[in-house]
Structure 1
Amino acid sequence: MAFLATSPSAPAIAGSKFSTLSYSNDLKASQLGSFGPLDPFHFASIAKVTSVNASKGRRLVKPVNAEPKRNDSFVPAAASTIAAPEVGEKVELKVDDYEQMSRDLDGASPLEIMDRALEKFGDDIAIAFSGAEDVALIEYARLTGRPFRVFSLDTGRLNPETYQFFDTVEKKYGIHIEYMFPDAVEVQALVRNKGLFSFYEDGHQECCRVRKVRPLRRALKGLRAWITGQRKDQSPGTRSEIPVVQVDPVFEGMDGGVGSLVKWNPLANVEGRDVWSFLRAMEVPVNPLHLQGYVSIGCEPCTRPVLPGQHEREGRWWWEDAKAKECGLHKGNIKQAEAATLNGNDTRLAHSKGNTALPDIFNSEHLVTLSRPGIENLTRLESRKEPWVVVLYAPWCQFCQAMEESYIQLAEKLAGSGVKVGKFQADGEHKEYAKKNLQLKSFPTVLFFPRHSSQPIKYPSEKRDVDSLMAFVNALR
């Protein structure tokens, strides 16, 4: 089931205000001052797009959902009358041509990238909208003055605020979002066999495959290209090398086969704070959940707010390894990340041609660096002269890097107190040992080794400020 969606006739944006319905309860990005400083965002290329050529011929827009219509499908009558300007004849490019195009656009603004994508693919491209800050994509599309289409995956488990936000966006931009839904039979089988919350035990991939990946696959079968809100700074292990434009490595488009779908990432080189600066400057409505500490927003059971100092992806599938936090929509990113590992040794992808290992972190005279034999001896001791607090970490992990200052402060506060503070680099060849013997599930993991117990106690909280860590230690020493 899908709603047909395009933008209305494009407005002239030079010297005029975009005409929209106004709602007093709309939450604007300008109200969210807590999401980083208002850094200037570059709008230089906006002025060059002032109007749309509406004099060309018109044709019907094809729905995103390429499957044959079922008797129970619902398509509004207005869908058959929505039209868009005819675009020029498309010239298919080879993979190498898209790689060159990505290099050429690497320094371009998101507006320029969006304009190029919409110009090239016309009716055969659509924006993937999740209900989070990728509403910026819709605003950029409006600013190009070109018709555009928007689709979203309704998993059936989104927050109420997200559904309300969808309605606000539709009214603001005068569009109908094309919603894609999971197959009811597949959802029914999953829930009956495994319950409503099996992902907490089995991992999120199976549920996401049913509720998100397969509906997305159906949607993309009706397109030749799609536009995502991926950014390099969103995920430490899976998105650090995403290009501006690429041949989709996972999904197929309407022509079928490898290379039949092109993926555009206009925000790839933009930092999150700059996205928010843009949203505030343009007074774009945003999801009310952002006011509650949500940054990356997905399904309600799998999303939670993040605290200051935490990375935005820590709010997604928080019970799993931080490296693999993808639902499957961008599975190709995980393959790229895995290609950068060497015999189990994790290194962060370098932005240069070669991969380089990062320098160590948690460096302090008050911290003891434990080797593999050292941590094994500490674990075997049933009676210790002093209790220990130890962080299991990986130098490439952004979450570990984020808590470095607070952990060093903890070591300074505990110096001379009778509590030893240590660190153990638990990635690479030591990771399996740490998972089996040290309760490691994700980085960083903080353990407290009491004086008279061989069993370490795992710090259970995501709060990694020095006061929270100190409270944990004081409660146990």
Structure 2
Amino acid sequence: MALAVTSSSSTAVSNSSFPRFSSSSEPKALQFGSFSILDKPRVVSGALNLSQRHSLVKPVRAEPQRKDSTVPLAATTVASEVDEKQELHYEQLASDLENASPLEIMDKALEQFGNDIAIAFSGAEDVALIEYAHMTGRPFRVFSLDTGRLNPETYRLFDAVETRYNIHIEYMFPDAVEVQALVRTKGLFSFYEDGHQECCRVRKVRPLRRALKGLRAWITGQRKDQSPGTRSEVPVVQVDPVFEGLDGGIGSLVKWNPVANVKGHDIWNFLRTMNVPVNALHSQGYVSIGCEPCTRPVLPGQHEREGRWWWEDAKAKECGLHKGNIKQEDAAQLSGNGKGTTDANATVADIFNSQSVVSLSRTGIENLVKLENRKEPWLVVLYAPWCPFCQAMEESYVDLAEKLEGSGIKVGKFRADGEHKDFAKQQLELGSFPTILFFPKHSSRPIKYPSEKRDVDSLLAFVNALR
């Protein structure tokens, strides 16, 4: 898909980079890839119409100009104390709102920040955020990051949302020069070889940073259950630990997460009940939706984030937009540096706990590899208990083990992170967690399960084909 940009450098991102709202009734077409989205004058939800509100609101992408000056040490100290008080204030507010509904949290956010707050909309379930904002009856703003590599279905969703809610999404685009340099130097699909972080930084993180420079707060669709390894302690409101707001400096931006405590299935029940537009890709098995080259449907037994950057290990399933919500101990767990089990890893509850699943030690798995004439075949999962994708298949794997009891096939598990990771990579073909191996009865070489379908029927079909 062609990259849609409006300027050739980040410094050129100015008022002219965003759609102007005129009184003309003649629609203008914005070109996205192979089809157009009509730029129609619309009226925003709430008391002000959009053109009136636009004159009152600082552009979402504005980077404020600040005069260079020498700040006295005393003033710096006072500012630091203010930041600490602000952080404590929002920690208390997060505690007070912990059991509040998403609607109540959204209303509080819009009430406190008015025109200086905006909803970050990436499609998918983020429609729920806009529906909650609409239900408050307050004016609200919406911005979105157009990476230039989104699915056509995502662009169509954007247009449907604008139409339903009578709003105009404020699009942020990556810097054309940076994208050009990346593609010319490393090609269109370099992220398949060296990881997605560099591409995400150019196409998502930096445009987001520019957008947030024009705000004092933003609203996201983060949920704790989206990625148990990295988002398990997302608060409903916090001082953003990474990005800067309108006033500049860490602590100048507040981040609201109204659906942090809501389960994914509850979000979908809400969307169906309200009959709002959703991304057509959801009906094709997509759950978490990002850029087209980096997103695919989720298979049975997989966690929803496994549809993103599927060629990478669990440690890389974040793009950088919410890295401030990754706990330090989570980072240690996800590093997979092979230097031994950290204290953080040691405290994670083990998984696949069942009398039907044999827990293999390092010596046990080594002996299993060495045996050329086994008395019975083995099915073994190489796992890490902190891995959300291992957690997602726990139920199906345990069910399979119970079904195979008495069949002559042993079902086992081997924890292959920490100090065992290098061994597992070299001797057991570990690529990412989880890896499933079948050790035949009369062969020394294990057979790696080739599919990412981890439901009971798929795993059983694999075993029956080899037993």
TM-score range, shorter chain: 0.7 to 0.9
How far residue 419 of structure 1 moved from its aligned partner, in angstroms, is 3.5
Aligned residue in 1 for 2:226: 234
Task: Identify the range of structure 1 (159-168 vs 387-396) with the bigger mean alpha-carbon deviation.
Answer: 387-396
Aligned residue in 1 for 2:295: 303
Deviations 1:15-60 (A, max 9, x none): xxxxxxxxxxxxxxxxxxxxxxxxxxxxxxxxxxx98599xx9752
Deviations 1:328-349 (A, max 9, x none): 101112344536759644868x
Note closer, same or farther for the CA distance 1:455–1:138 as it changes in structure 2 (3 Å cut).
Answer: same
1:317 and 2:317 aligned: no
1:123 and 2:115 aligned: yes
1:222 and 2:237 aligned: no
Supply the distance in 1 between the matched residues of 2:274 and 2:88 (Cα, whole angstroms): 36
How far residue 148 of structure 1 moved from its aligned partner, in angstroms, is 0.9
How does 1:151-190 map onto structure 2 within 5 Å? 151-190=143-182
1:421 and 2:420 aligned: no
Supply the distance in 2 between the matched residues of 1:95 and 1:345 (Cα, whole angstroms): 30
1:259 and 2:256 aligned: no
SS of aligned partner of 1:126: strand
Supply the distance in 1 between the matched residues of 2:380 and 2:388 (Cα, whole angstroms): 18
How far residue 270 of structure 1 moved from its aligned partner, in angstroms, is 1.0
Aligned residue in 2 for 1:63: 59
Supply the distance in 2 between the matched residues of 1:346 and 1:437 (Cα, whole angstroms): 26
How far residue 61 of structure 1 moved from its aligned partner, in angstroms, is 1.5
How does 1:60-459 map onto structure 2 within 5 Å? 60-67=56-63, 94-338=86-330, 341=333, 344-345=341-342, 357-365=348-356, 367-451=357-441, 453-459=443-449
Amino acid across the alignment from 1:242: V
Supply the distance in 2 between the matched residues of 1:181 and 1:146 (Cα, whole angstroms): 27
Amino acid across the alignment from 1:363: S
Note closer, same or farther for the CA distance 1:416–1:235 as it changes in structure 2 (3 Å cut).
Answer: same
CA contact (8 A) 2:359 2:414 kept: yes
CA contact (8 A) 2:380 2:411 kept: yes
Amino acid across the alignment from 2:349: L
1:466 and 2:456 aligned: yes
Deviations 1:90-128 (A, max 9, x none): x98611111111111111111111111111111111100
Deviations 1:134-181 (A, max 9, x none): 111111111111111111011111111000110111111111111111
Amino acid across the alignment from 1:272: G
Note closer, same or farther for the CA distance 1:164–1:344 as it changes in structure 2 (3 Å cut).
Answer: same
SS of aligned partner of 1:253: coil
Supply the distance in 2 between the matched residues of 1:425 and 1:472 (Cα, whole angstroms): 22
CA contact (8 A) 2:329 2:344 kept: no
Note closer, same or farther for the CA distance 1:403–1:347 as it changes in structure 2 (3 Å cut).
Answer: farther
Amino acid across the alignment from 1:147: P
Number of matched residues? 404
Supply the distance in 2 between the matched residues of 1:120 and 1:200 (Cα, whole angstroms): 43
Task: Identify the range of structure 1 (389-398 vs 154-163) with the bigger mean alpha-carbon deviation.
Answer: 389-398
Supply the distance in 2 between the matched residues of 1:106 and 1:135 (Cα, whole angstroms): 22
CA contact (8 A) 1:98 1:247 kept: yes
How far residue 243 of structure 1 moved from its aligned partner, in angstroms, is 0.5
Amino acid across the alignment from 2:206: R
Supply the distance in 2 between the matched residues of 1:259 and 1:184 (Cα, whole angstroms): 30
How far residue 4 of structure 1 moved from its aligned partner, in angstroms, is 5.6
How far residue 210 of structure 1 moved from its aligned partner, in angstroms, is 1.0
Supply the distance in 2 between the matched residues of 1:249 and 1:475 (Cα, whole angstroms): 51
Supply the distance in 2 between the matched residues of 1:346 and 1:144 (Cα, whole angstroms): 45
CA contact (8 A) 2:63 2:246 kept: no
CA contact (8 A) 2:230 2:326 kept: yes
SS of aligned partner of 1:442: coil
How far residue 453 of structure 1 moved from its aligned partner, in angstroms, is 4.7
Note closer, same or farther for the CA distance 1:202–1:250 as it changes in structure 2 (3 Å cut).
Answer: same
TM-score, normalized by length of structure 2? 0.79
Amino acid across the alignment from 1:392: L
What runs of 5+ residues in structure 1 fail to find an aligned partner? 7-49, 70-90, 349-354
CA contact (8 A) 1:66 1:218 kept: yes
Task: Identify the range of structure 1 (322-331 vs 212-221) with the bigger mean alpha-carbon deviation.
Answer: 322-331
SS of aligned partner of 1:210: helix
Structure scoring higher RCO (CA < 8 A, sep ≥ 6) equals 1
SS of aligned partner of 1:151: strand
How far residue 433 of structure 1 moved from its aligned partner, in angstroms, is 2.9
SS of aligned partner of 2:438: strand
Supply the distance in 2 between the matched residues of 1:191 and 1:437 (Cα, whole angstroms): 37
Aligned residue in 2 for 1:475: 465
What runs of 5+ residues in structure 2 fail to find an aligned partner? 1-5, 7-16, 22-44, 66-81, 335-339
% identical equivalent positions: 78
TM-score, normalized by length of structure 1? 0.77
SS of aligned partner of 1:441: coil
Note closer, same or farther for the CA distance 1:422–1:359 as it changes in structure 2 (3 Å cut).
Answer: closer
Amino acid across the alignment from 2:281: L
Task: Identify the range of structure 1 (195-204 vs 297-306) with the bigger mean alpha-carbon deviation.
Answer: 195-204
How far residue 212 of structure 1 moved from its aligned partner, in angstroms, is 0.7
Amino acid across the alignment from 2:191: F
Aligned residue in 2 for 1:3: 18
Whichever structure has more helix as a proportion of its residues is 2
SS of aligned partner of 1:422: strand
CA contact (8 A) 1:380 1:454 kept: yes
CA contact (8 A) 1:368 1:422 kept: yes
Supply the distance in 2 between the matched residues of 1:371 and 1:356 (Cα, whole angstroms): 18
Supply the distance in 2 between the matched residues of 1:357 and 1:376 (Cα, whole angstroms): 25
